[in-house]
Each structure stands twice: as structure tokens, then as C-alpha cells.
Amino acid sequence: MNLVKWKNNDLLDPMNEFDRLQDEINKLFDWNYPENRGLFDRSLSPAVDLVENENEIILVCDLPGIKKDDLDLSISRNVITIKGEKKNELKKEGRKTFRNETWSGAFQRTISLPETVDPEKVDASMKEGVLTVKVAKREEVKPRQISVNVK
């Protein structure tokens, strides 16, 4: 469970929180336009998918607007760390900002992979703001097919 930033500044009106909760719950059922805010806020750590198949563990991470060079990926044994910084190039002097739902700054995410991975065989690629890391499993844990000659 991630900690969710508490965004309501209106301390004088506690009932406000109940309204907000109701909103959040309504949003849950609003299948068409879920918002990426509130309870579903991903502003502290980027969203990650982790998939396991026979040969490898695949980690997919949404990192829009982050260049390859600003990203630092490291693995030690079975713990993988994605570190990076997202720079906001649009915020400049002489510009008026009307809306900013995005976040910028440094982030870090550490994920424990299953023990069966081989930290030597890692393959990472970045495409259209999506990072895909493939970590191979150790040879001895991969399912093998052994043919048995029946006489």
C-alpha cells in the first residue's frame, strides 16, 4: 500500500472530507472517465506492471516525458531499483500556468523480484515513455523438457 498524499487543506470543514470520499467512491464506478487523481494518484511513484512467465520476469513502467539518460536502473540480486528525475521544461518565466496535473522531480521505485531471476541477464528498453525491463530466470529453474527413450 502506498501512502497517498493528503491534499485537502480545508481543516475548518471536516464534512468536506466526507464529500470528497463520496466523490472518490463515485469515481470508482464511473467506468468511462476514471481520473488519475485522488486515491488513484500516481504522483509519488510511477505505475508498474510485473509479469512472470516461464523464461523471464517482465517489468513494465510508465515514464512519460523521461529521457533515457535521466533514468538509472540497477539490480542487485533480485531487487531492482528504478531511479530518475523528471524535469519540467515547460515551467518558465513569463508563462502563465493554468493547469498542472502532472508531477515533476525525482522518483525512485524498488521492487523485489522472485528469487529465481538471474541478475546478470537484464535487458531494458524505453519506447514512447514506457520502460520495459526483461530479467531472465536462472537456467536451473526454467522448465525443461527431457525426452525419454522408451525401449
Partner 1 sequence: MSTQEMTKRKRCVQPLSEIHEEDKKVIIRLEMPGVEKKDLNIQVENNRLRINATRKESEQEGTYLLRERNCVDYEKVFTIDETIDRDSIDAVMKNGVLELSLQFKKEVQPRRIEIKG
Integer angstrom CA distances of residue 72 from 7, 29, 60, 69, 106: 30, 37, 15, 8, 11
Which listed residue (64, 105, 108, 138) binds partner 1 by CB under 8 A? 64
> Which residue's CB is nearer to partner 1, number 53 or number 147?
53
Which listed residue (26, 53, 145, 149) binds partner 1 by CB under 8 A? 53
Separation of alpha carbons 94 and 107, rounded Å: 28
The vertex-24 CA angle with 22 and 29, nearest 5°, equals 95
Residue 9 as a binder of partner 1 (CB under 8 A): the answer is no
Residue 33 as a binder of partner 1 (CB under 8 A): the answer is yes
Separation of alpha carbons 108 and 126, rounded Å: 17
| CB-neighbour burial class of residue 82 (10 A; exposed 0-12, middle 13-18, buried 19+) | buried
Task: Copy the grid coordinates of residue 36.
Answer: 488519475
Minimum CB separation of residue 57 from partner 1 in Å reads 8
Minimum CB separation of residue 151 from partner 1 in Å reads 37
Residue 31 as a binder of partner 1 (CB under 8 A): the answer is yes
Q: Of 10-18, 25-33, 116-124, 137-145, which segment contacts partner 1 by CB under 8 A? A: 25-33
Per-position x/- string for 72-91, each x denoting binding to partner 1 as judged by CB under 8 A, each - no binding: ------------------xx
105 torsion bin: left (phi>0), alpha (psi -120 to 50), beta (else): left
> Which residue's CB is nearer to partner 1, number 9 or number 97?
97
Give the interface with partner 1 as residue ranges (CB under 8 A): 31-36, 42, 47-54, 58, 60-67, 90-91, 94-102, 111, 114, 128-130
